[in-house]
Amino acid sequence: EKFAPARDLIEAGAKVAIASDFNPGSSAVADPYFVMHLAARHLKMSPYEILTAFTLNAAAVLGIADTCGTVEPGKNADMICFEDADLLTLPYMIGIKPVEVIKKGRRFVN
């Protein structure tokens, strides 16, 4: 098993971004929560670092941080909501479905 040196990069001041990617060549994984779990277990990232890597840092890498990546006025307001979840449980939510999805400010309920 070989993983990126995320912990070393973070400690050196780099901004790390992670995503599920889902490509057949190197990452046939579509579940972002599984990737978050891998980041906690193998990359030694904290729940806060994982959330930042999946949102703000990912948007910055893609060059779209002006429209998404954080929840603030003027941005797309894309987010998912879970029942009884907190940041510390984020890496362990494999298979849990959100109770609400908000995409571009529009609410969708499961």
pLDDT, tens digit, 9 for 90 and up, residues 13-46: 999 999 887 777 776 777 888 889 999 999 999 9
Query: What is the Cα–Cα distance from 53 to 20, expressed in whole angstroms?
Result: 12
Distance in angstroms (rounded) separating the CA atoms of residues 63 and 57:
10
Check residue 95 and give its pLDDT: 80
Alpha helices in 6-110 (DSSP H): 6-11, 32-41, 47-54, 56-62
